[in-house]
């Protein structure tokens, strides 16, 4: 032991002497396996990695697909899933989805702030004139704007900061924003300053990165949101400016159904996407119907289905035929074909022949005898877990890859050119511009879907105004893309539409006198003025100890 102690003392002495001399030139003083801004950002590759860690935050937790079920398009099916209570008017300050959204968005903001704050930690050639530096900075600022837009539109009175606090004491100085206008104006300014140094175009192989088109569309959207949330239509002038630039760029609208399946990145309509791979799959099997192994976590309701126009007259025995083609690309309803069989959720509407299930020839859809019926989606009948069946009779098709259930990795679209047409048409009408131009923009969208109905006739007989038609176009075009909640809020429709009963499929009961029936999923929902904003998570209020307060009436 004495020998070992002597050797140890000698080593300590040598290290001490080295610390007083130049021995540290041969010692790696950078901690291995520990990352912080103090030792990071010393080469351009570090900034790319930091940006990738920010881009991965897009559609984190597939929240873009969950959130439409907190509006009037769908319902969350299971009580234990996020958004169940928000879609029924029973949410509290302890609800999971607001907490998830608040947390995940602030993680994203902090990652963006870290890039912005350290952009000049590396000595760029040419300094502030370096093109790569400015592109990286603009990407980070634009993404920060994206996540702040989500926060301010959901919660209103958020905590806002451009620089991450370095200490607990610094974090105590972060104020709660009482007027959302400050955040909207910051977002619009950030994007205006970032757009010039972003790439003009992004190639098909790199649509997971921001270029000018994505930032312009984000700015156009943010301005439209500001116009509604702040009751100031002058913000639509920004929407008009950005959409004019966007629609002058070279692009074509793709096949609608192909936008949401494998290969969608090859379509020029797609501007920015969240990409997945065989090694990083999405989890969209959650949305598949029960009969093919999915969990049916959100279910479209009748109000959304009814928003798709009939192109030909209604056939009472085939009520979900003859609709706008976007319906068949987005939603499964009775009579749809899935994996070579007919989809069915109508009770007691089938027969068994030779061990196979078919529509009953004497009942609705009975004329469809060329294929079997997929068994396992009807409530109350055998086949799989009852809790994984749609309560409305509808399931989402959009983004589903029919040949697979769980092993899918098709990309989710964050921005696409069709939204620019819709935003521009809306802004034109809201600012008293040319209705002829607005109609021409909407006609392009409708023509792509094969909707040959006269716009003027539909205004006269169904919508009552061009603005209402445009709003409906946005609803059906962008269904299940995470935008509906923000739209019904900014249009001041939230309480009207959310207090309507959430209904399911229509079908005829042939066990008695044939008559129209409806699945009444939630016969009565109850929403009040407080529900316009989501509650600030109670855990955040507790952590901040009086520095932030709850949105009005949520604490009661």
**pLDDT tens-digit map of 333-357:** 999 999 999 999 999 999 999 999 9
Categorize the per-residue pLDDT at 205 as very low, low, confident or very high, splitting at 50, 70 and 90: low
Q: How far is 233 from 499, CA to CA, in rounded Å?
A: 27
Q: What is the pLDDT of residue 144?
A: 98
Say yes or no to pLDDT of 19 above 60.
Answer: no
Angle at 479 between CA 477 and CA 483, to 5 degrees: 105
Q: Which of 68-72, 406-410, 541-545 has the lowest mean pLDDT?
A: 406-410
Task: Write the DSSP assignment of 105-158 as a string of letters.
Answer: HHHHHHHHHHHHHTTTTS--TTGGG-HHHHHHHHHHHHHHHHHHHHHHHHHSS-
Other Cβ atoms less than 10 A from the Cβ of 12: the count is 10
Mean pLDDT for the chain overall: 91
Q: Which of 91-100, 163-172, 177-186 has the lowest mean pLDDT?
A: 163-172
| Token pair belonging to 510 | 């042939």
Q: Which residue has tokens 């607005």?
A: 438
> What band does 37 get if pLDDT is binned at 50, 70 and 90?
low
pLDDT cut 90: percent of the chain above it: 79
Say what the pLDDT of residue 555 is.
Answer: 75
Alpha carbon dihedral 218, 224, 228, 229, in 10-degree steps, equals 20
pLDDT exceeds cutoff 60 at 20: no
CA distance readout (Å), 30 to 26, 215, 534: 12, 37, 44
Q: C-alpha 246: how far from its chain's center?
A: 21
Q: Averaged over 505-527, what is the pLDDT? A: 82
- CA pair distance 214, 57, nearest whole angstrom: 16
Q: Is 35 exposed, middle or buried, given 0-12, 13-18 or 19+ CB atoms closer than 10 A?
A: exposed
- What pLDDT is attached to residue 4? 37
β-strands 350-353, 356-359 pairing: antiparallel
Distance of alpha carbon 337 from alpha carbon 253, whole angstroms? 25
For residue 524, what pLDDT band results from cuts at 50, 70 and 90? confident
**Banded model confidence at residue 32, pLDDT cuts 50, 70, 90:** low
Q: What is the mean pLDDT of residues 294-300?
A: 95
pLDDT of residue 223: 99
Provide the pLDDT confidence category of residue 154 given band limits of 50, 70 and 90: very high
Tell me the two tokens of residue 440: 């021409």
Nearest CA to 470 among 500, 445, 496, 498? 445
What pLDDT is attached to residue 47? 97
What are the contacts of 310-316 at 24+ separation with CB within 8 A?
A: 311/450, 311/451, 311/452, 311/453, 316/508
Confidence tier at 511 by pLDDT (50, 70, 90): confident
68 pLDDT above the threshold of 60: yes
Written as one string, the DSSP assignment of 54-117 is HHTTTTGGGHHHHGGGGTTSEEE-STTSTTTTTTTT---TT-HHHHHHHHHHHHHHHHHHHHHH
Sign of the four-CA dihedral 158, 164, 169, 173: negative
Between residues 3 and 464, the one the model is more confident about: 464
Mind giving me the DSSP string for 517-531?
EEEEEES-----GGG
What pLDDT, on a 0 to 100 scale, did the predictor assign at position 556?
A: 52
The span from the CA of 230 to the CA of 302, in Å, is 31
Work out the pLDDT band at 406, boundaries 50, 70, 90. Answer: confident
3-state secondary structure 295-353: CCCEEECHHHHHHCCECCCCECCECCCCECHHHHHHEECCCCEECCEECCCCCCCEEEE
Helices (H), 340-449: 418-430, 435-448
Whether 215 has a pLDDT exceeding 70, the answer reads yes
CA distances, 220 to each of 22, 59, 120, 232, 239 (Å): 58, 20, 30, 15, 4
**Residue 549: per-residue pLDDT:** 95
At 332, list the tokens.
């499964």
d(CA 443, CA 202): 27
- pLDDT of 36 strictly over 80: no
In the structure, what pLDDT confidence band is assigned to residue 64 with cuts at 50, 70 and 90? very high
Rounded to the nearest angstrom, the gap between the alpha carbon of residue 120 and the centroid of all alpha carbons in its chain is 33
pLDDT level of residue 509 (50, 70, 90 thresholds): confident
Percent of the chain at pLDDT exceeding 70: 92
């Amino acid at each position: 032991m004495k020998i070992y102690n002597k050797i140890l003392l000698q080593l300590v002495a040598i290290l001490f002497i080295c610390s007083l001399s130049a021995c540290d030139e041969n010692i790696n003083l950078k901690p291995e396996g520990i990352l912080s801004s103090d030792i990071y950002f010393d080469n351009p590759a570090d900034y790319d990695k930091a940006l990738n860690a920010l881009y991965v935050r897009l559609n984190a937790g597939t929240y873009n697909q969950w959130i439409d079920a907190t509006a009037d398009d769908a319902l969350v099916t299971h009580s234990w899933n996020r958004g169940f209570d928000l879609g029924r008017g029973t949410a509290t300050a302890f609800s999971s989805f607001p907490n998830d959204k608040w947390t995940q968005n602030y993680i994203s903001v902090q990652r963006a702030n870290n890039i912005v704050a350290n952009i000049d930690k590396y000595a760029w050639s040419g300094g502030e004139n370096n093109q790569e530096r400015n592109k990286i900075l603009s990407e980070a600022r634009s993404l920060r704007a994206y996540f702040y837009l989500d926060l301010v539109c959901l919660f209103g009175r958020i905590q806002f900061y451009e620089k991450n606090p370095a200490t607990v004491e610094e974090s105590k100085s972060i104020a709660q924003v009482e007027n959302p206008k400050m955040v909207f104006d910051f977002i619009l300014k950030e994007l205006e300053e970032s757009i010039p140094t972003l790439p003009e175009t992004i190639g098909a192989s790199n649509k997971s990165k921001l270029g000018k088109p994505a930032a312009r569309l984000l700015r156009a959207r943010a301005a439209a949101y500001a116009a509604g949330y702040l009751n100031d239509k002058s913000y639509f002038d920004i929407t008009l400016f950005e959409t004019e630039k966007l629609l002058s760029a070279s692009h074509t609208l793709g096949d609608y159904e192909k936008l949401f399946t494998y290969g969608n990145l090859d379509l020029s309509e797609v501007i920015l996407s969240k990409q997945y791979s065989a090694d990083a799959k999405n989890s969209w099997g959650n949305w598949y119907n029960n009969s093919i192994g999915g969990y049916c976590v959100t279910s479209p309701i009748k109000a959304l289905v009814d928003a798709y126009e009939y192109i030909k007259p209604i056939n009472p025995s085939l009520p979900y035929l003859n609709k706008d083609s976007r319906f068949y690309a987005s939603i499964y309803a009775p009579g749809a074909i899935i994996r070579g069989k007919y989809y069915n959720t109508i009770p007691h509407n089938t027969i068994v022949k030779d061990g196979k299930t078919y529509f009953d020839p004497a009942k609705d859809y009975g004329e469809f005898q060329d294929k079997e019926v997929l068994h396992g989606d009807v409530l109350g009948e055998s086949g799989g877990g009852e809790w994984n069946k749609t309560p409305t009779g509808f399931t989402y098709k959009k983004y589903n890859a029919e040949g697979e259930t769980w092993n899918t990795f098709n990309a989710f679209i964050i921005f696409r050119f069709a939204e620019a047409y819709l935003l521009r048409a809306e802004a034109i009408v809201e600012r008293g511009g040319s209705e002829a131009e607005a109609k021409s923009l909407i006609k392009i969208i409708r023509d792509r879907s094969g909707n040959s109905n006269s716009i003027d006739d539909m205004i006269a007989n169904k919508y009552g105004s061009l603005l209402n038609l445009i709003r409906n176009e946005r609803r059906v075009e962008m269904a299940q893309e995470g935008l509906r909640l923000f739209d019904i809020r900014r249009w001041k429709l939230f309480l009207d539409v959310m207090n309507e009963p959430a209904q399911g499929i229509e079908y005829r009961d042939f066990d008695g006198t044939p008559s129209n029936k409806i699945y009444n999923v939630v016969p009565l929902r109850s929403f009040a003025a407080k529900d316009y904003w989501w509650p600030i998570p109670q855990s955040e209020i507790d952590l901040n100890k009086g520095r932030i307060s709850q949105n009005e009436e949520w604490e009661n």
